[in-house]
Structure 1
């Protein structure tokens, strides 16, 4: 039983009018009864006002509805796909798929109106992994005229939300369901009706869901929306590119794009920085799901122009470049908004600096020197010092071919590679400089050899850096190389993209001819092993030291990896290793601070590592300040990150942001002892939204919907045949709902209530002597 209002005056208008008039009557009548005693003074105005209110409410047409259920009603659970692909407008239709699904349900001739007398009905929207209830006949009898919702979910999950809506155990998905088949026989017969384009992009298999429903005797009727063929559309799907590149080098990467154009059409692909086109190519469509196109372009001119615009007292090490990839849209294209995508890379302005020192000009050293010298991103200072070398003693001084004469000069190097040098090449003080260099964040690579030089250095200050101990046995010939579990996970050792092919490749590389017999220290990590007489021995060992790290090679034969493949693996390995081990440079510096926030582009949910180095007016590090990084998005402060100083006394402070939301960010620095105008450094980075692939394909996946319907014991219907749903669902119900309305505003009960209130009020007035 429920109360409804069917009059010409809306219920809320009638209620408001009745309340206002009753209040006026009560106030006016109360003035006439102020001398009639306390009970009459309050009760008489209340009776009169209530009668007047009931009389006015007759204008709203109050109706008392009685609902009687005869027999057993069937239960129908409507699930509407509310993902972004359902917001597409198909050719030959004036409305979107989502709007057409709503139209099938609502209105005087909609399914809800036709089935509400014989079925228990509910409508839910599938929003990602959630099922949001829109309407339930058990809560509201009258179906809505329309659903005021949008189809904008970033993913489509056709399994999990349906399970949740039916109250089924998600853990049982994919398991046999016969054991629970009897449970649903005790309640109403149930069916699920799914309105979707079948573009399942996230979550468990919908086929497993359908199988579970079949075990419970719940058929699923799937109504497919959209054309079975992909509409004309080209789109930028992904841009594969390096995070950073030297401004002197070229940017090389891959444009992954959706090609759903009629075969043979020309489409112009471009990559630009602002209004300047850096790369363009005319492509020909093939009507395939995905294409991969390589791009290659120079950035030196735009980087030089951007650097010139920077303030003179701000020095850049890397510059974030904002680039846009674009595919020229067709006139008949479905969606031209997906034809371009913005991405960012860090352009390294200044070269990386390498200090390479060895005791003899061995093959390993020659190839390494040539490798890095050919790369325009590196400046190499090579010193060969030994009894039979170019220099018998270490040349010291300023400039190239010299070792720095003070520790500050050593800090300008990003990476140091030390070969087989004699223990007396460096003074004890210089050895301490190298040790402090690594402790403050520098990178050191040690390439040992068969002459046992590093075994002699182990008792010097440099020995603190060595991550291994030396055995008494002589170097031995190895049989093959192999990566450890740690090595497989470390990116610099990844010479092939996939894990298993990379593992196999390392076993095929030429093995070391002489392997130094060493054992790793407890804190060291063995990355690669060499098999000697069938037993694995450490070949590449890595260990952190302070804020830096050391990588030790127990062999000198990586140059042999060029055999028959030239630089294919050798160059890639050393470039990756050098950038991973070297001291990470700060992106921007001014007179008092240096700042770095890592990559130029992150993905939503990532956290950015922030590093700040503070100095005084004389360039000396400041390690006792209170420092914060201020994170801005769209010129609004969104986070303040407290930075913590390290134990090395180098003035470096570190902090980490929380998970980042999509958008463009700017980072500034605040520190005690510095004015706001003194710290001018700031960096920018972009956080890209996670690509879900929701709109990569927008045609109707009829195959999936048919399989779901068949597996559940239901039926698939294209949108044009959706009018068959009523006849398919009618057998679920063996009962009906009958409704009877009592027109209260025309009934004697309503009249007698008003008359009774007035009669009681008249009798009380007479008793009080007011008549």
Structure 2
């Protein structure tokens, strides 16, 4: 089959077209300027025709400098289509060699196969005359076009690709090719020929086989390969690298809490890997501002991954940061910028995974908690001991009712008293309410507690076996409860507590570090001897259920938002049973995490007029940053009618301005969301109408992190994955040592060829004849005009 030839003009001179064009324009202007002396007295059309003829002929002469070439391309037969997809993730920067000569890395070796070397032509040159060839690059995002034989771009000498991708998604190039099949076909003859010319096609994945991108849903590389094969596109895979894991020591992850108390200790663990024959001892270190704050020497171990716990006293670090901070700014937390590093005396395959930066917010203010209960039951006693003794909390306990020291609810602002004003109540971050007789809590007390929650406070309600809370929910207090009591009043005896699908993802229920084993862990906790029979209220969420036999369950931990605050409900009061043989290990962790989940995050920094903060200090790439601020005038009164913007800064330069909306007018608080920031370090400050910018000094930092994908967790070639993809795509797998087999498989796919011819126009009659013709016509016109 012979296709209609495609022709185009190209420029192959010593000077580029863009260099010649300015010279051409200048030459035309000179011709027009010189000619006007002779043509200004001539009648039309000679007044404009003569300069136009001379300028056109001069332009053709000047264009000779650009070397015009007439390129003609004709397809004979049916071409195959080949798409080479090159992995540009970080693991492709590995060289698979310890030799001092610095052998080319995986990406460079893949590029050399396509573009060739000085002594050997590359694959692109060898098949471009018989195939339609495309080159695309991929990592964790959408595949990117690099070169195509259908374009006007010449054959590249190198691809200039950089292995910077933070993860690998093997499905992205397959999805890109699948989406392109027949998309260029139309009703025209040219469109039909295009479809016919690429009827037999293949995609070649050139990668080390790592597939670790997160957030990719419903896209399996194997299933996409199978879809491509059904449509006539075979999937060929070529593995780069070594199958054996190279000797390497590195840090995979640093697990730690997001916040820590100033007087507390930062506890976490470093997940590290160590592979290689005859593994050697390693040194782990954590540094802050260049100073070592934790260090441990580890003995050699077998190949694999292990977790190393660490514990750091943060008091000294916080004091050092506070002493160096600007005056006039009150910070409720200081950001601890820490770096974990690992070192070994043996050969280390790469140092790119030897250090990990991480940050933790150290709270510099005591969090205030109020515990109110109608009896001194075991749950309340243990909670009192837990929070009163914890230096990170300032806890007040109010116990009243029959059988206690206070028959009625004591009100006031002293220790052991319930707040008598909204201002006193707002000083707390969260309130824990137990089983209270509704007759002992006046309407004003209930209203004060409801306004506290609506304004952003946290509330945790713990049910009791005497059923007094049921009566309290029958008042207006029931509006904020996340549950409704069932008609049956009988209490159920659960077999155990199980987190729900939603609850297992919540940090409050993460009592152990392994998310995979978390569900099994909850089954091992001692079950309460009873649980209230309740149902979720409209708009509430169930985070854990009490299993009562068979497939039946009742909500055990429920939550909902009420105004700007969050309310939690527990259907039993026996979490103290979790202390059996392990003391506070799980009981304290659960309650600390639950109270923090209920609390509104505190503002990070404040000055005389503004307080602001973000919900976290570290965010994954693509996450929204929630900014909160509170405005006060010179007298300390809330300002609710200002136009407020959050100014996002990087390296001291404002890069974005985000409008904020009023949140609670009575408190002068505003909220806003910052979206789509690239990874890096940022800070945010506030600009508000009616305030001079120099008055609003407070700012707070935050970080956008690269998504943690474990790209360098394993560095060996994942041969099994590539073999499975090739099998699903009706193709074959080749190792780079057998790279010639790839070309041998691709060549028979084409039954056509491309004939390309170049005519050097500036050395042919096709260029000089128009110049002579234009000059001849000009001479004849000059004679007719009387100029000769």
TM class by smaller structure: 0.7 to 0.9
Give the distance between the partners of 2:486 and 2:33, measured in 1 at CA: 106
Structure 1 residue 342, shift from structure 2 partner: 1.7
Which of residues 461, 465, 469 in structure 2 aligns to 1:446?
Answer: 461
Match of 1:175 in 2: none
The reply on whether 1:307 has 2:319 as its aligned counterpart is no
Structure 1 residue 85, shift from structure 2 partner: 3.1
1:261·1:285 contact (CA, 8 Å) conserved in 2? no
Match of 1:77 in 2: 83
Give the distance between the partners of 2:640 and 2:21, measured in 1 at CA: 72
Give the distance between the partners of 2:553 and 2:741, measured in 1 at CA: 70
Instruction: Give matches, 1:500-511, under 5 Å.
Output: 510-511=526-527
Match of 1:225 in 2: 240
Which of residues 257, 263, 268 in structure 1 aligns to 2:283?
Answer: 268
The reply on whether 1:115 has 2:130 as its aligned counterpart is no
Match of 2:684 in 1: 667
1:352·1:413 contact (CA, 8 Å) conserved in 2? yes
Match of 2:612 in 1: 595
Which of residues 142, 145, 149 in structure 2 aligns to 1:133?
Answer: 145
1:627·1:644 contact (CA, 8 Å) conserved in 2? yes
3-state secondary structure, aligned to 1:354: strand
Moved more, 497-506 or 124-133: 497-506
Taking a change above 3 Å as real, the CA distance of residues 747 and 288 of structure 1, as seen in their structure-2 partners, is same
Which of residues 704, 709, 713 in structure 2 aligns to 1:692?
Answer: 709
Match of 2:577 in 1: 560
Give the distance between the partners of 2:497 and 2:39, measured in 1 at CA: 104
Structure 1 residue 57, shift from structure 2 partner: 5.8
The reply on whether 1:410 has 2:425 as its aligned counterpart is yes
Structure 1 residue 197, shift from structure 2 partner: 3.0
Match of 1:369 in 2: 384
Structure 1 residue 605, shift from structure 2 partner: 1.7
Give the distance between the partners of 1:329 and 1:169, measured in 2 at CA: 51
Match of 2:269 in 1: 254
Which of residues 212, 235, 257 in structure 2 aligns to 1:201?
Answer: 212
Give the distance between the partners of 1:525 and 1:221, measured in 2 at CA: 48
Match of 1:632 in 2: 649
Instruction: Give matches, 1:289-308, under 5 Å.
Output: 290-308=305-323
**Larger-Rg structure:** 1
1:476·1:532 contact (CA, 8 Å) conserved in 2? no
Structure 1 residue 595, shift from structure 2 partner: 2.6
2:430·2:595 contact (CA, 8 Å) conserved in 1? yes
Structure 1 residue 299, shift from structure 2 partner: 0.6
Give the distance between the partners of 1:231 and 1:45, measured in 2 at CA: 74
Which of residues 254, 262, 265 in structure 2 aligns to 1:239?
Answer: 254
Which of residues 491, 497, 508 in structure 2 aligns to 1:492?
Answer: 508
Moved more, 423-432 or 290-299: 423-432
The CA deviation string for residues 573-604 of structure 1, in whole angstroms up to 9 with x for no partner, is 32222222245433334444433312222212
3-state secondary structure, aligned to 1:328: strand
Taking a change above 3 Å as real, the CA distance of residues 139 and 456 of structure 1, as seen in their structure-2 partners, is closer
The CA deviation string for residues 360-407 of structure 1, in whole angstroms up to 9 with x for no partner, is 333222222222234332233334334432344555555534445544
3-state secondary structure, aligned to 2:353: helix
Taking a change above 3 Å as real, the CA distance of residues 237 and 751 of structure 1, as seen in their structure-2 partners, is same
Structure 1 residue 325, shift from structure 2 partner: 1.3
Moved more, 294-303 or 401-410: 401-410
The CA deviation string for residues 40-82 of structure 1, in whole angstroms up to 9 with x for no partner, is 4444454455555556666766554555554444444333333
3-state secondary structure, aligned to 1:372: helix
Taking a change above 3 Å as real, the CA distance of residues 47 and 266 of structure 1, as seen in their structure-2 partners, is same
Structure 1 residue 105, shift from structure 2 partner: 2.9
The reply on whether 1:701 has 2:726 as its aligned counterpart is no
Match of 1:180 in 2: none
Moved more, 604-613 or 564-573: 564-573
2:499·2:522 contact (CA, 8 Å) conserved in 1? no
Structure 1 residue 625, shift from structure 2 partner: 4.5
2:199·2:232 contact (CA, 8 Å) conserved in 1? no
The CA deviation string for residues 221-253 of structure 1, in whole angstroms up to 9 with x for no partner, is 544433444444433332111111112221111
Taking a change above 3 Å as real, the CA distance of residues 125 and 664 of structure 1, as seen in their structure-2 partners, is closer
Taking a change above 3 Å as real, the CA distance of residues 245 and 749 of structure 1, as seen in their structure-2 partners, is closer
The reply on whether 1:164 has 2:176 as its aligned counterpart is yes
3-state secondary structure, aligned to 2:682: strand
2:212·2:710 contact (CA, 8 Å) conserved in 1? yes
The reply on whether 1:551 has 2:565 as its aligned counterpart is no
Structure 1 residue 506, shift from structure 2 partner: 5.5
2:547·2:554 contact (CA, 8 Å) conserved in 1? yes
Structure 1 residue 269, shift from structure 2 partner: 1.3
3-state secondary structure, aligned to 2:612: strand
Give the distance between the partners of 2:196 and 2:562, measured in 1 at CA: 68
Give the distance between the partners of 1:65 and 1:30, measured in 2 at CA: 38
Which of residues 319, 330, 340 in structure 1 aligns to 2:355?
Answer: 340
1:237·1:258 contact (CA, 8 Å) conserved in 2? yes
Match of 1:99 in 2: 108
Match of 1:179 in 2: none
Taking a change above 3 Å as real, the CA distance of residues 767 and 105 of structure 1, as seen in their structure-2 partners, is same
3-state secondary structure, aligned to 2:286: strand
Give the distance between the partners of 2:486 and 2:740, measured in 1 at CA: 84
Unmatched segments (≥5 aa) in structure 1 = 172-182
The CA deviation string for residues 460-506 of structure 1, in whole angstroms up to 9 with x for no partner, is 77676666677898764624355584655655345467889666665
1:184·1:217 contact (CA, 8 Å) conserved in 2? no
The reply on whether 1:586 has 2:603 as its aligned counterpart is yes
Match of 2:623 in 1: 606
Structure 1 residue 292, shift from structure 2 partner: 2.2
2:85·2:173 contact (CA, 8 Å) conserved in 1? no
The CA deviation string for residues 672-700 of structure 1, in whole angstroms up to 9 with x for no partner, is 55544554433222221213333433444
Moved more, 526-535 or 204-213: 526-535
The CA deviation string for residues 625-679 of structure 1, in whole angstroms up to 9 with x for no partner, is 5444333232222343444444572343333333443222223234455544554
The reply on whether 1:352 has 2:367 as its aligned counterpart is yes
Which of residues 146, 156, 173 in structure 1 aligns to 2:158?
Answer: 146
3-state secondary structure, aligned to 1:338: coil
Taking a change above 3 Å as real, the CA distance of residues 397 and 328 of structure 1, as seen in their structure-2 partners, is same
Taking a change above 3 Å as real, the CA distance of residues 117 and 580 of structure 1, as seen in their structure-2 partners, is closer
Match of 1:176 in 2: none
3-state secondary structure, aligned to 2:312: strand
Taking a change above 3 Å as real, the CA distance of residues 195 and 507 of structure 1, as seen in their structure-2 partners, is closer
The reply on whether 1:576 has 2:593 as its aligned counterpart is yes
Taking a change above 3 Å as real, the CA distance of residues 336 and 764 of structure 1, as seen in their structure-2 partners, is same
3-state secondary structure, aligned to 1:201: coil
3-state secondary structure, aligned to 2:380: helix
3-state secondary structure, aligned to 1:124: strand
1:320·1:685 contact (CA, 8 Å) conserved in 2? no
1:314·1:588 contact (CA, 8 Å) conserved in 2? yes
Give the distance between the partners of 1:573 and 1:520, measured in 2 at CA: 22
Structure 1 residue 83, shift from structure 2 partner: 3.2
Give the distance between the partners of 2:568 and 2:483, measured in 1 at CA: 10
Which of residues 275, 292, 295 in structure 2 aligns to 1:280?
Answer: 295
1:475·1:515 contact (CA, 8 Å) conserved in 2? no
Instruction: Please report the TM-score for the alignment, with normalisation by the length of structure 1.
Output: 0.83
Structure 1 residue 274, shift from structure 2 partner: 0.7
Taking a change above 3 Å as real, the CA distance of residues 298 and 43 of structure 1, as seen in their structure-2 partners, is same
1:477·1:512 contact (CA, 8 Å) conserved in 2? no
2:372·2:432 contact (CA, 8 Å) conserved in 1? yes
Instruction: Provide the aligned length of Structure 1 versus Structure 2.
Output: 760
